Amino acid sequence: MQRTLITPNLDIFPAAVKPLICGADIYDSSCSPEARVYFIDKGCGYYLKCAAKGSLKIEADLTRYFNSKGLATSVLEYISLDKDWLLTEKVSGEDCTHKMYLDEPKRLCDTTAELLRLLHENDFASCPIQNRIETYTQTVIENYRAGTYDKSAFPDSFGYKSDQEAWAVAEKYMHCLKNDTLLHGDYCLPNIMLDNWKFSKFIDLGNGGVGDRHIDIFWGIWTLFFNLKTDKYTERFMDAYGRDKIESEMLKVVAACEVFG
């Protein structure tokens, strides 16, 4: 997880977190244009996320829920003013893009697949988001209508030759996606924290909730392709996860949806 030491204007922060920030080294740890993430180097460490007003409410709720299951860090503050602010405790270990993990790709593949299967075995009765598929399919439809289409980042085995080809599959089969599994929602290597190969926590849970397991499986395969620069771990990942729970046709449906991400 990259960090760049900065000297921010303290006036930009909400009053509730200023006592924590004062006297601490502050680092920019952002990895997305949609949000600014600050690492506060005090005590055991804290992360402070800032994004558009109202955009972090679901992430705060889901992080609390995953924390209740021992799967995520603690939420210390959620503040919604002109912007949203989410303060959490630092998680021990490093994310799965760390060199020590990338240097052992087979072990990394098996570990992330097995962790995903364990996540998907969790009960989700009290999850605050019970119908993630509704917002998921709405996003696909809206982005298709807006002309948003990009398959460049996806493995060739899941590629479509055109937006119309992908849309034909998405439109016909999106209704087959189920709300029957607790999802991470963005199951990528930077969002899986390990401490010397032992599971630590999941982070960045804003797209989680109850949905279709094939969404997480797709991203678990994609993140290995993207970070290891090869798709040769696709079959191994599915073997390690468990073929008994994977429908290859549903992965193709998810792929068709995701190119309208």
Residues known to be catalytic: 186
Alpha-carbon distance values, 222 to 105, 163, 218, 229 (Å):
14, 19, 6, 10
Exposure of 165 by Cβ count < 10 A (0-12 exposed, 13-18 middle, 19+ buried)? middle
Which amino acid, 47?
Y
Please choose, from the candidates 143, 128, 120, 129, the residue with its C-alpha nearest in 3D space to the C-alpha of residue 212.
120
Instruction: Dig out the tokens for 95 from the structure.
Output: 């994310």
177 three-state secondary structure? coil
